């Protein structure tokens, strides 16, 4: 029964990851700054565990690219697939290891996910620093995403606390 609940929750988080960008997608600059796909993937890691978070994170951007054409498959959806897989995996694993400590799990996931994104983008650029270097990484991973980072730092803990009170938690 426990695995059925995690599977259903994971499907729900995947569906939210596919639909949520439509709310911000009308203005692409705002959509990319708020990082709407990150939120359900992080929540999936927190509530379903690292395995489900990893799977939902990897599938979400690729499936969204195939279904809606956004984000573009290469290099954006591919690099986002690795980034979000790390988000889901790390948030779930660290949350479980730290006995449900939200901020360490969230911060580790955000930092490692952005590093994964930058690494894959660099590989997609053919290891060419002139195509994707440190300035491009910093701009894409940090500067442009500051509103999304702030939103995640405020919204994710609030949602985890609220959903935890409702009985939605990892291991139930």
Mean pLDDT of 7-32: 88
96 lies in some domain: yes
User: pTM of the full predicted structure?
Assistant: 0.93
Sign of CA dihedral 103, 121, 86, 26: positive
- The yes-or-no verdict on residue 172 having pLDDT over 60 is no
Is 106:61 a contact under the CB 8 Å cutoff?
A: no
Residue 88's domain is classified under what CATH number?
1.10.1760.20
Residues 128-147 have pLDDT tens digits of 888 898 888 998 888 888 99
171 lies in some domain: no
| 164 vs 27: CA distance, rounded Å | 33
| 169 vs 160: CA distance, rounded Å | 9
Q: How confident is the model at residue 167 (pLDDT cuts 50, 70, 90)?
A: confident
In which domain, by residue range, is 159 found? 2-165
Q: Report the domain count for the chain.
A: 1
Residues 143-161 have pLDDT tens digits of 888 999 999 999 999 999 9
pLDDT score, position 169: 66
């Amino acid at each position: 029964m426990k695995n059925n609940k995690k599977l259903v929750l994971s499907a729900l988080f995947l569906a939210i990851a596919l639909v949520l960008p439509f709310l911000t997608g009308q203005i692409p600059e705002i959509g990319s700054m708020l990082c709407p796909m990150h939120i359900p993937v992080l929540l999936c890691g927190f509530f379903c565990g690292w395995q489900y978070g990893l799977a939902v994170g990897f599938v979400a951007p690729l499936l969204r690219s195939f279904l809606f054409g956004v984000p573009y498959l290469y290099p954006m959806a591919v690099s986002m697939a690795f980034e979000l897989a790390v988000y889901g995996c790390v948030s779930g694993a660290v949350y479980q290891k730290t006995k449900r400590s939200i901020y360490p799990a969230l911060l580790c996931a955000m930092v490692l996910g952005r590093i994964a994104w930058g690494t894959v983008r660099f590989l997609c650029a053919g290891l060419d620093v002139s195509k994707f270097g440190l300035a491009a990484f910093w701009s894409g991973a940090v500067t442009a995403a500051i509103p999304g980072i702030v939103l995640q730092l405020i919204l994710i803990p609030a949602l985890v606390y609220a959903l935890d009170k409702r009985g939605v938690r990892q291991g139930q």
